[in-house]
Chain A
Amino acid sequence: MKTRTLSNLLAAALLAAIPTPARAWVAAGGYHGGVVAVGYRPPCCYSGAAVAGAAIGGAMVGAAVASAAQPAYVAPAPVYYSAPVAYAPAVGTVVSALPPTGCSSLSINGISYMNCAGVFYMPFYSGGALMYQVAQP
């Protein structure tokens, strides 16, 4: 049986950018840094480029805080935020929820997508949750 080191476990749960070595096990159990940016909802009706900028800005804030000389760290990218409804997010954007209405599923070349008013989302599981990435099938 292959044994996994505790460092590996904690690192997996807390994302890669951890400044101090991790040795513990329980600590790895509840926290998943990958969805650290949940709850971010860009203001309505910006252009798609501005939305992408907002997402990147969030990641940069995380990176800036992480690099500051302080013991606390935040997990950097990827940035997840709730799906905007009024405009098209940029390809590659990852969201934790789809618009509440107007979506239908389809399969292209064996890959599943959700089509929400012409925007294609590719579903996948990550960190114990279902996520969607805006795609150009």
Chain B
Amino acid sequence: MTPETVAVAVFLFTYALVVSEKIHRAVAAMFGASVILFLKIVPWENIPKYLDLNTLFLLMGMMIIVNTARNSGLFEYVAIKTAKLAHGSPIRVLLLFSIVTAVISSVLDNVTTVLLLTPMLLYISRLMELSPIPFLLSEIFASNIGGTATLIGDPPNIMIGSAAKLSFNEFLINMGPIAAIDLGVTILIIYLAYNNALKVTPKKKVMIIQTLRGLDEKAAIRDIRLFRKSVAIILFVVALFFLHDRLGIEPAVVALFGASLILLWTREDPEGIFEKIEWPALFFFGGLFIIVGALEETGTIAKVAEWVLTHVHTQGEALLVITWFSAFSSAIVDNIPLTAAMIPLIKHMGASMNVYPLWWALSLGACLGGNGTAIGASANVVVIGIAEREDVRITFVDFLKVGMIIMIITVAIGVGILWIRYVGW
């Protein structure tokens, strides 16, 4: 068995384990990476080359900031405030929660965002005596779309930004407008698809307003000083992200600086916060970097890139192929291993064409592709999982019917914008 065959076999085997979910994805990735290192397919001294510390530390820093801020009740406060602003109107609930979800997801990770907002959405739908399905679907799509908008919104973007040295502002300029248009279109589609399910009587509306008025958003704040400090630090970190390329510092440094600052300023128990870091996610990433590194080390990625280049001749063709391939693949399998495999491929393609637009194509496909199926993205799984626990069933087919349409339309809009910007009319 050649090292190349082993690298491909380990990659496919790990992929299969991740897809089947028979064992934890972090364990699958760790095991694959261990095999690669044990067989010396990736020599020990080459680990720093493949282990993307920028991605790992950026994720870690943001996890520390989010977990510290969470202790203050900040996110529950936002959820109640949003619910109250809706004034008992289902359409406003749909609109406001979608926008809030997208905005929070563009800065924080999608899973945390939906974990914190879904209980509130279920509560309001129960109050309105309406089916929560349109609201939950809209939340899922908004979360994935919001994550597309920034460098720190979704793990694939963090990986792409780190590999291609793209700044926060470049992401915002290239992906922000696409995400904003896609969000508007998605809310409109949900509204049209579920129009009849979004109505309440005027009497019911008054009752909803009264019940929501009884909710005190300030009661959600567990520690007002921590709340204020958390808001200040999050705003400061976001501001630093805007400036990181001008200051010449890596996004990971911004996140770690913010993380250390929030721990220093708030005096929260660091042990408790460090325990809440999603270590399985970080080990999953680490393992994947090594497994994909093996494909690079053995020249497999270079061969695939050569093959792609013999069939794809222009930048426009490459843009379309990468976008739609990554979109449909992300709808079926986890977008993180997909992005990890696509990054070196695009890097290799850089030898014969300008790959700058292709990074955006990958980001677009990998992030928005998740909307296609119920298992396409972590946010989908979390929201559907919570809904199931609350006796609200969203079947695979139910999701597919709406999700696939949303995915195709939003990706088409995105690819259209990228085409106009980088390929021309």
Judge: A and B partners, yes or no: no
